[in-house]
């Protein structure tokens, strides 16, 4: 039977639908690549089981996880920097000494497209094994037109090789490359006038990101990047308010940013601008944890303002060498005081919104059958325990890609 005709049935399953946990045990039927029906067990008509492949009973079904912020493509390792930070050297200090992001830039420039692909593939496989069906991958360690395009090509190829939807983001304005040391505006010109047009012309970028921070680029420079992105029809987002409050989030929101990410130092004005624009707050507890930060993002104020919060891994070689989305659910709760339910919404429905897929990351009739079935008895258990191996089944666009 072709996948387009195949009907699959789950019985007696607890469904977290992307926004909430449904109150009763459900029966779920998929047909081809869509969710065909979602009904409470007590309303289930046995006639609709006709021709269905029985997929089992019990457990918890969630939408496929959406990891809306990663830097999965990179060369080299930064274990030595991890050790230096444990001895007290700060992330900023390492960056000022030319290490940090720039040390990954050197290793990434030296690596061939093939080598970058081979290194990134197992990282992405780790995310997939933990339930991810949509992942965003940024460039940002090339910092020349060719090296940024090389990274984006690798990201696109990963999406072709593996059963996962890859969304690419050009992060040319991530750090100032050494050859532009005294000409930060010159580098921003390169990003705006060459990198963005080239990535757009080749269809390699789905969005454009910036790092708005004292150790990276100013609000005015990031605004120029956004204007260039918008002129090419590309949506925008920002790493902002991570280490200090520069006002990058408010500027990004005024330009209609999909999201502002990190935002530990976000203030009331920034929250108001995000609410107004409908931007998503992407919180990244992995980077907070690894950098041993103490400034908490303003979770209660974001919640009160009704700004949607997404949770992502920020998987990268420096600030978040963590390739396990369900660990982020746990850290979002323990470090940032999200409820397990909020954390799950953050990695499903709100994660999708942060990528411009509003209405996705949900289980409902006619939704794409990107689904996970977990060996747990309640959705909160996914945030409670950090335990690989609980993914029982994973469907990507209706295809069963994982079964234990
Ligand atoms: O999201 N904040 C800036 N960029 C990355 C870190 C990248 C790195 O340290 O290599 C982040 O944390
Ligand atoms: Fe990041």
Helix, strand, coil % over all residues of the chain, rounded to 5: 40, 25, 40
Q: Which residues surround ligand 2, an ion (CB under 5 A)?
A: 314
Residue 320 CA to ligand 2 center (angstroms) comes to 8
Distance of alpha carbon 142 from alpha carbon 204, whole angstroms? 14
Which helix or strand (DSSP H or E) is residue 260 part of? Answer: strand 259-262
Distance of alpha carbon 102 from alpha carbon 185, whole angstroms? 18
pLDDT score recorded for residue 403: 74
Which atom of ligand 1 sits closest to the CA of residue 100? 9
Comparing C-alpha atoms, which of 339, 330, 332 is closest to residue 387?
Answer: 330
pLDDT score recorded for residue 180: 97
Distance of alpha carbon 214 from alpha carbon 232, whole angstroms? 27
Which helix or strand (DSSP H or E) is residue 48 part of? Answer: none
Looking at all shown ligands, the one closest to residue 70's CA atom is: 2
pLDDT score recorded for residue 255: 98
pLDDT tens digits, 82-100:
999 999 999 999 988 888 9
Residue 205 CA to ligand 2 center (angstroms) comes to 16
pLDDT score recorded for residue 58: 97
pLDDT score recorded for residue 98: 84
pLDDT tens digits, 175-204:
999 999 999 999 999 999 999 999 999 999
Contacts of residue 58, defined as CB under 8 A and 6 or more positions apart, other chains included, come to 12, 13, 377
Q: Which residues line ligand 1 (CB under 6 A)?
A: 71, 100-101, 104, 211, 239, 242, 287, 314, 316-320
Write down the H helix ranges in 232-324.
Answer: 248-254, 268-277, 285-290, 299-305
Which residue numbers in the chain have pLDDT < 50?
none
- The residue written with tokens 């004292």 in the block is 214
Residue 284 CA to ligand 2 center (angstroms) comes to 8
């Amino acid at each position: 039977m072709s996948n387009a005709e195949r009907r699959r049935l789950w019985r007696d399953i607890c469904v977290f639908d992307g926004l909430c946990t449904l109150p009763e045990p459900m029966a779920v039927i998929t047909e081809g690549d869509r969710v065909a029906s979602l009904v409470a067990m007590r309303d289930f008509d046995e006639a609709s089981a006709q021709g269905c492949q029985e997929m089992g009973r019990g457990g918890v079904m969630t939408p496929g996880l959406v990891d809306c912020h990663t830097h999965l493509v990179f060369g080299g390792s930064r274990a030595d920097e991890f050790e230096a930070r444990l001895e007290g050297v700060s992330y900023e200090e390492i960056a000022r000494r030319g290490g940090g992001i720039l040390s990954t830039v050197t290793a990434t420039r030296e690596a061939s497209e093939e080598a970058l692909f081979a290194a990134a593939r197992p990282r992405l496989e780790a995310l997939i094994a933990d339930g991810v069906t949509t992942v965003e991958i940024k460039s940002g360690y090339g910092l020349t037109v060719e090296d940024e395009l090389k990274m984006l090509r690798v990201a696109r190829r990963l999406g072709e090789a593996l059963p996962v939807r890859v969304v690419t983001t050009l992060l040319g304005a991530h750090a100032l490359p050494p050859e532009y040391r005294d000409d930060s505006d010159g580098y921003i010109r390169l990003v705006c006038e060459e990198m963005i047009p080239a990535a757009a012309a080749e269809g390699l970028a789905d969005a454009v990101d910036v790092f708005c921070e004292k150790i990276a680029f100013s609000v005015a420079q990031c605004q120029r990047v956004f204007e260039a992105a918008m002129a090419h029809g590309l949506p925008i987002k920002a790493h902002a308010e991570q280490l200090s409050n520069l006002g990058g989030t408010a500027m990004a929101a005024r330009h209609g940013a999909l999201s502002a990410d990190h935002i530990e130092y976000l203030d009331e004005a920034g929250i108001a601008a995000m609410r107004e624009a409908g931007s998503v707050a992407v919180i990244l507890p992995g980077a907070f944890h690894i950098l041993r930060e103490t400034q908490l993002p303003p979770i209660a104020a974001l919640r009160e303002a009704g700004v949607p919060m997404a949770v992502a891994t920020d998987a990268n070689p420096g600030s978040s060498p963590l390739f396990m989305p369900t660990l982020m659910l746990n850290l979002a709760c323990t470090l940032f005081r999200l409820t397990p339910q909020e954390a799950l919404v953050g990695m499903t429905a709100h994660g999708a919104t942060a990528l411009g897929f509003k209405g996705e990351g949900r289980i409902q009739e006619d939704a794409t059958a990107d689904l996970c079935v977990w060996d747990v008895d309640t959705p909160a258990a996914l945030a409670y325990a950090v335990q690989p191996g609980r993914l029982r089944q994973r469907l990507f666009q209706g295809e069963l890609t994982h079964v234990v």
